Structure 1
Amino acid sequence: MLTAAVSFALTAAGVAVAGLRAYRRRHLSATRWFAVALLPAGLYLTGLFPVARTIGSELADWATALVLDPRVWTGIALLAVSTVLLVTTRWLGRRAVDAAEPRPAATGRAPARPAVAAAPAQPPAGAGAGGAPKAGKAAKPAKAGKRDDGLGGEFADIEEILRRRGI
């Protein structure tokens, strides 16, 4: 009897809050409040409160037995060993499949890049006739954007597009 009174009191309070929300033109919030307000009455009328009480007492009994009963600890240990064995066999099975499958061969070889960049055709600016820098003048460093990485002009158009877009 007390459960019924509390359930319907909670439902009435929720419906009142939903009414206030609707009065303030917050219809979405009012609908949510009304939906939540119907839960206690619905749980009581379906008889789920005694079920919840039974589930709660069974969980409390299990937790008490967990602390005091060595049989429960043995069951937990068996569950842990089972989990470790399942995970280990899954991991080892994947490793065996990876090792047994041949790796697909590449469709073509990438062109070999030279280990050292080719020497420039002309001596750097400020160099004398023998290729050595003139005394008194320091050699100008090469531009940072113009480097010879062995790719030639293959990516020049792509670099230009990226440069225009500011990337």
Structure 2
Amino acid sequence: MLTAAAAFTLTAAGVAVAGLTAYRRRYLAATRWFAVALLPAGLYLTGLFPVARTIGGEIADWATQLVFDPRVWIGIALLALSTGLLLGSRGVARRRLKASATASGAPAAAGVAPARPAVTGARPPVGGTAKAPGRPGTAASADDGLGDFADIEEILRKRGI
């Protein structure tokens, strides 16, 4: 019962703050306050407060074991050793790649993939003499960049504008 009273008191206080904020014509901030104010009531009505209490208790138990249980410290040491070995082996591999690249006379490019061959014939060059789509016989102009506005330009010329 105390949880319900606390949840609805927090909700009422949040709605009051949202109302005062809206009274000052700060509607975006008032909407945010209102949204946050609805959270305690929603959490209570869905029954998530006991779940939060259980999760908090489990985290507290884990933290207590972290401090006082030697097995946890051994586990942390094993995780640190594993991370160190993985990072160290990666560093050695990079050094070997760099050393082999400098020995062969090629510039050292650690972690850079070789250049891909160029694909030919994929697209016509931009601004070239390709025909505009949908209008056979008209060519796009490379200088003015108005290939898409050719119809409008033609209408304006006819009207003398």
State the AA in 2 paired with 1:9: T
Shift of residue 11 of structure 1?
A: 0.7
Q: Map 1:1-167 to 2 at 5 A.
A: 1-101=1-101, 102=104, 103-104=106-107
RMSD over equivalenced CA pairs, Å: 1.5
Check 1:96–1:48 CA distance in 2 against 1; reply closer, same or farther (3 A cut): farther
State the AA in 1 paired with 2:57: S
Q: Distance in 2 between matches of 1:67 and 1:87?
A: 27
Q: TM-score, normalised by structure 1?
A: 0.57
Q: Max radius of gyration: which structure?
A: 1
State the AA in 2 paired with 1:38: L
Q: Deviations over 1:67-119 (max 9, x none)?
A: 22111111111111111111111111222222233524xxxxxxxxxxxxxxx
State the AA in 2 paired with 1:37: A
Q: What number of residue pairs does the alignment pair up?
A: 104
State the AA in 2 paired with 1:89: S
Decide which structure has greater helix share: 2
Q: Distance in 1 between matches of 2:76 and 2:85?
A: 14
- 1:134 is aligned to none
Check 1:15–1:93 CA distance in 2 against 1; reply closer, same or farther (3 A cut): same
Identity of aligned residues (%): 75
User: The residue matched to 1:79 in structure 2 has which SS?
Assistant: helix
Extract unaligned runs of 5+ from structure 1: 105-167
Q: Distance in 2 between matches of 1:46 and 1:88?
A: 49
Extract unaligned runs of 5+ from structure 2: 108-161
Q: Distance in 2 between matches of 1:52 and 1:96?
A: 51
Q: TM-score, normalised by structure 2?
A: 0.59
Shift of residue 9 of structure 1?
A: 1.1
